[in-house]
Structure 1
């Protein structure tokens, strides 16, 4: 029996998932690492902590599953997107990695768009936002020239682990698409963008397909972990691309809604020719030559956590939401907008803030709880609506993962608001499983991703829209869409006071 390992490098921890070739999960291990916040708006991590976490996870899995010393055929990765890792000529880390959720680069984003905004959008299919990698590079150029002068290699977090395991510099197309440096159509680094912003192409890694073989584990690490055979290392993919793969989002009409701290509405796209004019992200998929579009709600699960912590801190989520099903769609005239930390899609607005609209004396905890769930889902529907109107997308199924898949009332709301059949996964392992699947395809255990998905991915619940609720939500959603315009100026004035 052959085994594959997926390493998922997240923002707070690294998780390793060990699968048999028949798609059965046989082992898992994780290790945490700290988040560094040297000042407000800064978010950093020390790449050495990632390497130590990966070492611990591998040691644990090998000790608990001796058979993989002979039968592990491949390792691949999923990882947090955009975060900037810089190495010097000795391959030492120059400074802590600047993470995807770091917001220090507003000035650099403005400079990018003023200098080459149309070309950036045309070449990369995205606009400059604080999360992307290019603004972080410009920040280092402008604020730490002594560090920039040392840079010999640039990579993203998961690629640092690949370098540690193989000694080779690599990046896959799905992660490269989030740097604002990739020519998406031609699948190469954009010489025009690199030249415009004085970035030497020599510092960029070799590009690979997500299931492409980067190399084999070094002899030193092979000996240390006790492997008796060469273990091949595959490039891997961005966390959202791997999550989509692990949810079976590999064909037209398939969508995914993922609700964690933030929320994502993601759609498979057959071609990169679709033009969202930067209002949605468009990234290369982990599936060869395919792309996916994605909208982001900054505070999805975070809105629910804030609501619980503020209004009912003694209740767990099950108790908090147990009566929301007794409230009719629309929460008896109560609307919530989940803009508590600003918003990304469709309103790129760091100063907008959330609101409850329509409160009166008869509203109680279940009304507020349901309105929070509805508001989060309406915000994600904003992305769905753009996909349907711009790309004429029709969703035959939407896979729900994360917190939104754990509550039956919320699942029904999703089906009704999205007006689509919602399905859940039998076992939800997320990006780490997608990474393992890439290793399985790359190693030849499967001829293609379709057959791999057929073995690894299975679906559980299927929730069908209730047409009466669909009709009600269509009216309520039209009202919801008016709230941003009605409150934006007020929120911006309040921001000046803050």
Structure 2
């Protein structure tokens, strides 16, 4: 048996699978996020450990016999988070998360250093790890001086599971301290961020063994051992493993908390000027290119809170089929934006509100605004020479037929819906555990799922949505300078 653990922003999910990839049971629990100041987003790493304990106990209660046969654990997690430890492995402060924008000034300074983009293959975004440490150096010098190790969120969970300071290539590629082409820490990039290589974890591929489960946890969880903990992956690379996007050109669009349009590449092809992320994949000698927006389903969550209606109720109030764009334009920049704008200051807006506007109108405009933001990502990817002809659609937002039809029409790309529900980051993490334990070839383990349905663009509405997309882009151009003042 193999356990996939996905440490998400809102919670931790675990699935237990067998050698054939069949899911035996799954469990999840929520994790709180603190926002003590505007633009700040933090979590207590102790909450990750407690969540892991809770998920494991739930899985054992569901199928103790299957869990007792556990031989491998794979880890996935939200990227870029800065977990700072002292020389004893004690956490020094709450983890600064991927959607925290406090280090915008530090990111801009690092990004203006010519070597950084050349080394990392990416813009230094405020959400990345390196500018967070520069912010800590400037504002919390005592914490900075005590920092002996910097771990990404899933790798802190690994540290608790194994006692080892280890990370994988895909997650480390999002720090800005990493030479993504050479798949190694960069002494030069670290020096520019006032860091040293000994403060970094050791590096392995996501398919490699990354420590063994500690003896006390083996006893506590009723396991005979040994249990290998795989290198694992950042959440998007893990999701690509879960859905089988490991061959050149294979990709997916994810409507999760953030929005992601990802394509696998068999060669390193950075294009930082497009604001497309170029990271290592979780499997050897493979990379990924991604367009990323910060608020996809999070935009619907925001609308739900402010209208006082559950997301499901808002979504089901819309028809299954689209009839044309809303008269309202929504800009989903609730936490700033990454691709293609790299703008931490811009904020969201509704344009075209009318006295007759109702909750259904706002819901439609939010879904359209996210779709237009994903179209921005697609155009940026095209600027790198990548033009996917069809995409898998995954994430919580993929449950809405209306949203998917809107997205397919705006992207002008068919969307394939995989059969079943177990193909996300937790599944990808479990598949990486199979590779690590059995030295299996990724292509043999990470096959794509059967396609259950295919959402075609609405050819009769493409022109109407294209016109609205042009308006959407004009609104960013008009509003962005105001947000910067």
- Secondary structure of 1:229's partner? coil
Contact 2:251–2:391 under 8 Å retained in 1: yes
Q: Give the C-alpha shift of residue 461 in structure 1.
A: 1.6
Contact 2:314–2:360 under 8 Å retained in 1: no
Separation (CA, whole Å) in 1 of partners of 2:310 and 2:74: 40
| Correspondent of 2:477 among 473, 482, 485 | 485
The answer to whether 1:154 aligns with 2:150 is yes
Distance 1:491 1:448, change over 3 A: same
Structure 2 equivalent of residue 338 of structure 1: 332
Separation (CA, whole Å) in 2 of partners of 1:33 and 1:444: 32
Alignment of 1:36-185 (within 5 A): 36-68=34-66, 70-114=68-112, 116=113, 118-185=114-181
Structure 2 equivalent of residue 15 of structure 1: 13
- Secondary structure of 1:374's partner? helix
Normalised TM-score (structure 2): 0.91
Separation (CA, whole Å) in 2 of partners of 1:413 and 1:358: 19
| Correspondent of 2:421 among 396, 420, 428 | 428
Which of 412-421 and 200-209 deviates more? 412-421
- Secondary structure of 1:467's partner? coil
Which of 6-15 and 169-178 deviates more? 6-15
Which of 366-375 and 318-327 deviates more? 318-327
Separation (CA, whole Å) in 1 of partners of 2:377 and 2:320: 25
| Correspondent of 2:323 among 316, 320, 328 | 328
Structure 2 equivalent of residue 415 of structure 1: 408
Instruction: State the Cα deviation string for residues 120-177 of structure 1 (Å, max 9, x = none).
Output: 1111111222211111112222223322232222211111121222222100001100
Distance 1:73 1:471, change over 3 A: same
Which one has a bigger Cα radius of gyration?
1
Structure 1 equivalent of residue 432 of structure 2: 438
Contact 2:315–2:400 under 8 Å retained in 1: no
Separation (CA, whole Å) in 1 of partners of 2:320 and 2:455: 15
Separation (CA, whole Å) in 2 of partners of 1:353 and 1:138: 24
The answer to whether 1:247 aligns with 2:243 is yes
Contact 1:327–1:366 under 8 Å retained in 2: no
Alignment of 1:325-404 (within 5 A): 328-331=323-326, 333-358=327-352, 366-388=360-382, 390-404=383-397
Aligned length: 484
- Secondary structure of 2:13's partner? strand
- Secondary structure of 2:341's partner? coil
The answer to whether 1:282 aligns with 2:278 is yes
Separation (CA, whole Å) in 2 of partners of 1:174 and 1:266: 13
Q: Unpaired runs of 5+ in structure 2? A: none
Structure 2 equivalent of residue 474 of structure 1: 466
- Secondary structure of 1:149's partner? helix
Q: Unpaired runs of 5+ in structure 1? A: none
Normalised TM-score (structure 1): 0.89
Distance 1:418 1:150, change over 3 A: same
Contact 1:68–1:227 under 8 Å retained in 2: no
Which of 355-364 and 393-402 deviates more? 355-364
Distance 1:278 1:330, change over 3 A: closer
Over the residues paired in the alignment, what is the CA RMSD in angstroms?
A: 2.5
Separation (CA, whole Å) in 2 of partners of 1:41 and 1:315: 25
Contact 2:81–2:98 under 8 Å retained in 1: yes
Separation (CA, whole Å) in 2 of partners of 1:438 and 1:320: 34
Structure 1 equivalent of residue 398 of structure 2: 405
Separation (CA, whole Å) in 2 of partners of 1:356 and 1:152: 45
Contact 2:258–2:298 under 8 Å retained in 1: yes
